[in-house]
């Protein structure tokens, strides 16, 4: 039995749970982190010295870092299309997977989402929000062009490139700010919503995370 430590509202837990569902894996998820706490115990820190979620346990294997967990699950249980065994076929998917995490998650989640949802308005850093929005205005058209050409972020089929990115899109499309025009990204997001695993694990309300006065 695979065990995932991490609350369902975490944008780093959601890609892991979504992938498990796409792969038809049976998973036990434990509510840890945020209001649930539990990440600062000696036992938890043995699994992840960073005290962060998610942590994955599969038999005697314990790993942290969501991208590493995704790669492990797809290598161990995935079909080739989602994470090819051939290094040349895998490289572009890996590139876009990192692109999404290093750029979209960093700029959108940690600047725009965090400031607008998780920070009281009185403490909001407006310059940070603005710099995040400006970055997102450059990033999303890049994704739009990639999707127009290939259909998915990683290539012609859904792959690991889509998971962290797809999770960010739920927040991107549901918080109120001015978005650039990206028709191909819009239809990609509509296609994601047709997938039951995406609806169940990525489209999770973040209202419980909202700061008082945000
Ligand atoms: N690079 C790590 C980041 C992990 C991370 O920052 N997780 C957040 C939740 S999204 C966390 O543990 N926050 C503290 C908490 O929820 O208690 C990963 O991708 O797994």
- Residue 4 near residue 188, CB atoms below 8 Å: no
Pocket test for ligand 1, best of 5, 17, 52, 71 (most atoms within 8 A of CB): 52
Pocket test for ligand 1, best of 8, 10, 31, 113 (most atoms within 8 A of CB): 10
User: How far is it, in rounded angstroms, from Cα 111 to Cα 62?
Assistant: 30
Ligand 1 atom closest to the CA of 101, numbered from 1: 19
- Residue 31 near residue 56, CB atoms below 8 Å: no
Sign of CA dihedral 38, 42, 47, 48: positive
User: How far is it, in rounded angstroms, from Cα 196 to Cα 120?
Assistant: 33
CA of 142 to the centre of ligand 1 (A): 26
User: How far is it, in rounded angstroms, from Cα 41 to Cα 32?
Assistant: 11
173-183 per-residue burial string, b: 16 or more CB within 10 A, e: under 16:
eeeeeeeeebe
Q: Hey, what domains does the chain have and what are their CATH numbers? A: 2-78 (3.40.30.10), 86-209 (1.20.1050.10)
Nearest to 90 by CA among 151, 143, 155: 155
Whether ligand 1 lies within 6 angstroms of the CB of 105 is answered as: no
Q: What is the pLDDT of residue 192?
A: 98
Question: Token pair of 66, please?
Answer: 């969501």
**Blockwise average pLDDT, block size 10, the chain, 214 residues:** 97 98 98 98 98 98 98 96 96 98 96 97 97 97 98 97 98 95 98 98 98 94
Q: What is the pLDDT of residue 162?
A: 98
Q: What is the pLDDT of residue 90?
A: 97
pTM, two decimal places = 0.98
CA of 47 to the centre of ligand 1 (A): 14
User: How far is it, in rounded angstroms, from Cα 136 to Cα 126?
Assistant: 15
Ligand 1 atom closest to the CA of 39, numbered from 1: 17
Whether ligand 1 lies within 6 angstroms of the CB of 10 is answered as: yes
């Amino acid at each position: 039995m695979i065990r995932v430590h991490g609350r369902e509202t975490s944008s780093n837990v959601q890609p892991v749970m979504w992938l498990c569902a796409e792969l038809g894996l049976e998973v036990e998820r434990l509510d840890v982190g945020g209001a649930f706490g539990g990440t600062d115990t000696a036992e938890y820190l043995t699994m992840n010295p960073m005290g962060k979620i998610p942590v994955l346990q599969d038999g005697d294997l314990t790993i942290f870092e969501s991208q590493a967990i995704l790669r492990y699950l797809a290598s161990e249980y995935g079909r080739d299309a989602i994470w090819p065994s051939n290094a040349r076929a895998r490289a572009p998917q890996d590139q876009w997977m990192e692109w999404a995490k290093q750029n979209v998650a960093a700029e959108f989640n940690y600047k725009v989402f965090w400031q607008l949802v998780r920070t009281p308005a009185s403490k909001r850093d407006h310059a940070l929000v603005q710099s995040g929005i400006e970055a997102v205005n450059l990033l999303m058209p890049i994704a739009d062009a990639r999707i127009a050409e290939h259909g998915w972020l990683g290539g012609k089929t859904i792959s690991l490139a889509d998971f962290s990115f797809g999770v960010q899109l739920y927040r991107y499309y549901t918080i109120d700010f001015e978005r650039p025009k990206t028709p191909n990204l819009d239809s990609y997001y509509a296609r994601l919503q047709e997938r039951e695993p995406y609806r169940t694990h990525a489209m999770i309300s973040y209202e419980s995370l909202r700061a008082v006065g945000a």
